Structure 1
Amino acid sequence: MTSESEGRCHSVDVSSITAGPLRAMLRTCDGVLVEALHEPRAARSEGEPGRRPEGGSGCSGCSGEHDGEDGEDRADGGGGADGADGDGERRPGGVAAGTAIVVAHGFTGSVDRPAVRRAARVLARSAAVVTFSFRGHGRSGGLSTVGDREVLDLAAAVAWARSLGYRRVVTAGFSMGGSVALRHAALYGAAYGGAARERSAAAVDAGAGAPERRPTADARRRRGERRRPYESAPEPWLAADARECRTDAVAAVSAPARWYYRGTAPMRRLHWVVTRPVGRLVGRYGLRTRIHPRDWDPVPLSPVAAVPLIAPTPLLIVHGDRDPYFPLDHPRMLAAAGPSELWLEPGMGHAENAVGDALLGRLGDWLVRA
């Protein structure tokens, strides 16, 4: 337990910021340690032309990394040669910071998996990148809840990126990480304020009963009742200030629209891994993923229910037409649920393993411009 207010995401202290990669262990709101890696924006190769954000200098919502008078991107983002920006604040890597992309990997991924490293390397051409391992994955502590409490892991990584001095922090999630990114954008956007918070509160009030009269989970199971939906038990961190944990734009790649989907063979195998004791042993020793043995209770807010709460935060949905896990009705459901941009990619399979460098480049550019 902590005396800090709920919803505030804290990371370990980092005494010095260097121009190279930086690893840290972040502590989430519920006390789980997750490993994270910050990598500065990659240096432009010789001869690569500078790119001006759409709309030119002074465009709305730009990252602050405008071109200089010579047509090349200004490495200091408008700051002085000593690595301070206009207000004298030090920034990561000795330069004034613009945008950081926080990457949320898929189930069984981690910071050091080759597909995650490749995605980070390509995205770093557009902006600085923060990668991390969800709980139960890699060197992070805890047990995987397969998309539920992982929202807290992403929130801690976003808060860490902001603590490093970045003016804009955006999120890109793949598969399970995509569902987490959608829920994170909705929950922390709602917690931070605005119309989204009012819509979230209305949704909670519509399904809420008196808390003291609700039966326990064991009592409901004995009576054969279904697990509570999210709306009847709002997440406790929604009531706290979440300014540092919010995202400025979100992209979900190969994300599911709804829970408990078993319509494809890969998803049936995944459910076996998650729900059966033998499957969880396979997950731990074969897939290097430690899975929580308990069912969700309450059932978390679904990705498709989260989408309407994300606006006005920019939202991009990316999905391949050859995804073996989730067919095209998933991205179409997500896109129809609220304001968003939808990219259906011909020939693309599933998540970070299937995303090509060209698409990652487009994705990074969209996140910086959004």
Structure 2
Amino acid sequence: IKAANHYCVNQLTLKISLDDFYHRDEILIPQLPHETEVSQARHRKCRWIVSFNTGNKCTQLVLAGLPAQGNSSFWSTDSRLRFTSMSNVETTVLPGIFQVVPKIFLVEASWDPRTDGQNAANLRFLLPLPSMCSRDMLSYRSSCFAVSLLQQSLTDALPSIRGDAQLASFTSWSAIEEFIASNEARAHKFPYRQPLSFDQPVRLGMFRNASNDGLLSIARTPSGCELQPASVKIADAFGGDCVSLTVDSNGPVIAFVNCNIPMLSLISFPETHSGLSQLDCNLPGRLSDLFSANEAVNQAKADASMKLQSDEEEQVPPRVSTFELNADTIVSENQPSASNQKAALVIPVIATIIIVFILLLVTRSLAFIPPLHCDTASA
């Protein structure tokens, strides 16, 4: 079913009810139908109240900013549309936004044709079909996958993807091959839909791991946003810190790319509300925090490994002992201590006493030796 168009009715509020059958894909256009130059000379204001008539309370609501027809600039910020969620958060509708929220309450449009510029974006909202998602989305492993309409750098793409939506990521090569096979099978299964196009690179929620040139995938978990290691073959390891996916005649190709290069994004979101919408993992600041935390963990692991190695080396007895002596050490070792100085004074005295005593003994012994007598008679 193609999307139905809802134009503005000036100064009136229209009610749009979404249900499980027909009204699942709608487009709000902040423009009066068949306007003329004369009728454009007045201020415009219109409102749409969106209600739900669905049996599944966990049904997702996809909000996408579509470039308005005739608008030559996809980057225009002169938007006429704003929507307010059930949590009273107001969001301006710009081209390229892709948000998945549980519910929306009010959409307003206000502009003055005499002073305001051309409308930048229309608002598409749809209820994904279970196990089918939408005509331009792929259902895979209980999630919906869509390719964005605008080419954006990483800095521009991240703030546009909010709520339950996030840059798609994979943790293994087999998962990527299975995803591509499921996409190509769309053309051969009822209701025979056109596969998503990967002829040109699309951005993934995967990044280079600076510590080992591997891959990290951003993931939303009940405990928060995490960076998980991915085991995926890389075709080009020198492109940059971001990761892209293309499909050629040989199959999927994963490559590192420059994060500043504008390209389309592959977006995913769960078919039913996850309850983790408050965790906007795609915010640039949060992504930077995740990488900083990951680097801190890697550094802590490296420090712990070095300490363990050092402890093991200390437990091994050294075969050769070496000592480093400085000038102070040499001087202190050559100078006798106070006790040594006393010993040096006493020893000569004792030695002198012993020598004197020996001399006395020798002298007395010599006194008892009888004198030699010459026998003159015999002569």
TM-score of the superposition, structure 2-length normalised?
A: 0.27
More helix by share: 1
More strand by share: 2
- The structure having more radius of gyration, on CA atoms, is 2
